[in-house]
Homo-oligomer: A and B are copies of this chain.
């Protein structure tokens, strides 16, 4: 069946334009196809703005579709009519014979809203909008963006873009981007906010003979369809086994986190973030009108929800390729490095260690068995060095891998060195033996399910045996660091999946919210709000004058801190608003001292109260806080506290809510965690109480409306408990 044939069809019985019995119907395509699934896997396409001029995008897209072997109807639309590349041109959307799956709109920004409304009327599910001139232009494009949004509301059409380089589906051979050659169908899907990054990952896959692609989409401005919705849809496709993302900013970060948390259960998500630096943020803003958000927060909350982050553009494809094809290591195992050279082994172990990947201790039995293969002098500690044993006998690799696979401590074998190139390095006659060794390794891989990752410094020569491994779903990388980062990614994912239960921290469904007043709250008000939301801020009393301060001190029957209680002073101690170790006898004096300080304050402070708290014993000065991140929503913080909190830069982040287990992980990520187990004169702290406190705070902040920032600093932790010393709450 030819595309031309289809275009000639006008049968009204085929109104939906897909599901024709004589077209191939991939197994996952259901009749109840959603708009989004029709967009991602279109079985008919209209080119709005088709052109007969080979220099125009409206021509090139049609040409690219035909070249790629797109086997479904293509409907060029142009008021001029005629024919383009043997396809009849329809003069308008309204006269299209089908309600097609997708429209590719190549007309300029100002025409797009009207076109979308016409598409909606015709029942077209979605559109790719290539035009730019919207939000990414700043104020100049704001109007156009708003008109586009209005058209989306009216038409109900789902769009990818605008300001996108397009999308493609290798499985149905639909290429709206126009690659030099459309790659074959493969397991990696790609979402990117950059046409160039799409070209990069396609080239990278080609360079490493890596796995190919299912769907690749340029998201552009994400005016309608965003990352969250797309990963959910991709995860439903059997043809997608990992999603690689290049993002310059998530418009709905919180929604993406929720989606990622669900999707990552079954489908790995690998993400490279652009705009992480101040300068990069500026560049991204002018590119896609998006903001990446605070880098340190993003890193933590994305990992919390199962997203594997890569730091380098050159690692996005390799890591996504590995995650798409490799089984996962068992938790609590480690990596065995199998090498033919000490230098490569050393570097592999260094790279694994830097990536934070676990390194296996081999059992005595394993070492004895390795020695039987490699000889008595061989280095059979991890890394295992076959040295010259493989030079003439490549089967030493499968033999060693088989032994390592039977060690329960070993969860992954990273083979590195010259693998597969002995016939290049030494003797061409070794080629056959190397191919056979690769076949044996593939069989072992299938039998044992053990993740295997390879590095070979000859990978760029693309020897046959490397492709044998790749066809057996084993990746071979030219870079030791890729192999190490990839191995770590497999462990990170395995660990995340194993911790699922502890991640779930649920809110009481009927939980009421509390409104946080704009600006700074007085400390008593802040503590009041926290307590209303179930966070115990310890002993404190509010007082309005010397008498009530004295009464409060009497209640606590111990020396107290007497502090200014005002919504007008951020740093109480800087303005003389704090008196420590105050007894009943010195209560009045403290009130008078603070009073004098307030009179000499600029401007003088007239109305204020006091907050009285019992003095706290010495302990570690910590920080617990929360912020409403503009991208990811409520986030909790934990770290070193005290005056130098900003200089210390010792803080960990999570999206709220966090379970006590996850809060423990937060604590352990900080440097200050080391002193909480007791250090010099610092007392041992019950980390679990601290974690419970963080967790309860994380629940509370979800119930705060209008929260800007919450700082409990310091919160003192010692052997008898944890004591919030100063609480600062700020509304938007």
Contact = CB atoms under 8 A, between A and B. Distances in A.
Contact of A674 (B282, B286, B479, B647): B647
Given A180-B424, A345-B283, A681-B643, A313 B479 contact: yes
Interface in A658-681: 671-672, 674-675, 679-681
A350 B196 contact: no
Contact of A671 (B284, B339, B648): B648
Nearest to A180: B424
Interface string A10-21: 000000000000
A445 interface: no
B353 A196 contact: no
Contact of A342 (B204, B272, B287, B679): B287
B574 A350 contact: no
A572 B385 CA distance: 49
B343 A274 contact: yes
A726 to B, nearest CB: 14
A279 interface: yes
A379 interface: yes
A279 B359 contact: yes
A347 interface: yes
A417 B194 CA distance: 11
A193 interface: yes
A29 B613 CA distance: 83
A311 to B, nearest CB: 8
B350 A481 contact: no
A482 B272 CA distance: 16
Interface string A620-657: 00000000000000000000000110111100000000
A728 interface: no
B288 A342 contact: yes
Interface in A354-386: 354, 359, 379, 381, 383, 385
Given A279-B359, A282-B381, A648-B648, A425 B680 contact: no
Contacts of A180: 424-425
A352 to B, nearest CB: 8
Contact of A274 (B346, B385, B424): B346
Interface in A310-345: 311-314, 339-345
A55 to B, nearest CB: 8
A481 B381 contact: no
A417 B283 CA distance: 14
Contacts of A313: 344, 347, 351, 479-481
Given A379-B286, A643-B681, A674-B647, A199 B347 contact: no
Contacts of A197: 341, 343-344, 347
Nearest to A208: B460
A460 B201 CA distance: 12
A346 B246 CA distance: 11
Nearest to A196: B341
A418 interface: yes
A331 to B, nearest CB: 20
Contacts of A461: 203
Nearest to A247: B343
A284 B682 CA distance: 38
A555 interface: no
Interface string A182-226: 000000000011111101100110110000000000000000000
A199 B284 contact: no
Contact of A280 (B284, B312, B347, B648): B347
Interface residues of A, number: 83
Chain A interface secondary structure, helix, strand, loop or mixed?
A: helix
A467 interface: no
A349 B679 contact: no
A197 B286 CA distance: 42
A277 interface: yes
Contacts of A275: 346, 350
A194 B280 contact: no
B279 A314 contact: no
A721 interface: no
A206 B462 CA distance: 13
Contacts of A424: 180
Interface string A455-467: 0011011000000
Contact of A314 (B274, B284, B478): B478
A284 B342 contact: yes
Given A282-B381, A284-B346, A345-B283, A417 B353 contact: no
Contacts of A204: 457
A459 to B, nearest CB: 9
Contact of A460 (B203, B288, B339, B353): B203
Most chain B beta-carbon neighbours within 10 Å: one of A196, A353, A385: A196
A643 B680 contact: yes
A511 to B, nearest CB: 37
A674 to B, nearest CB: 5
B277 A354 contact: yes
Given A283-B342, A350-B280, A675-B647, A480 B314 contact: yes
28 contacts: A192-B343, A194-B341, A194-B342, A196-B342, A196-B418, A203-B457, A207-B478, A248-B342, A275-B346, A277-B353, A279-B349, A279-B350, A279-B359, A280-B346, A282-B349, A283-B342, A283-B346, A284-B342, A286-B379, A288-B342, A312-B480, A313-B351, A313-B481, A314-B481, A574-B681, A643-B680, A647-B674, A647-B679
Given A207-B460, A312-B481, A313-B347, 16 more contacts: A180-B424, A180-B425, A193-B343, A197-B347, A203-B458, A248-B343, A275-B346, A275-B350, A276-B353, A277-B349, A277-B350, A280-B349, A287-B342, A313-B481, A574-B681, A643-B681
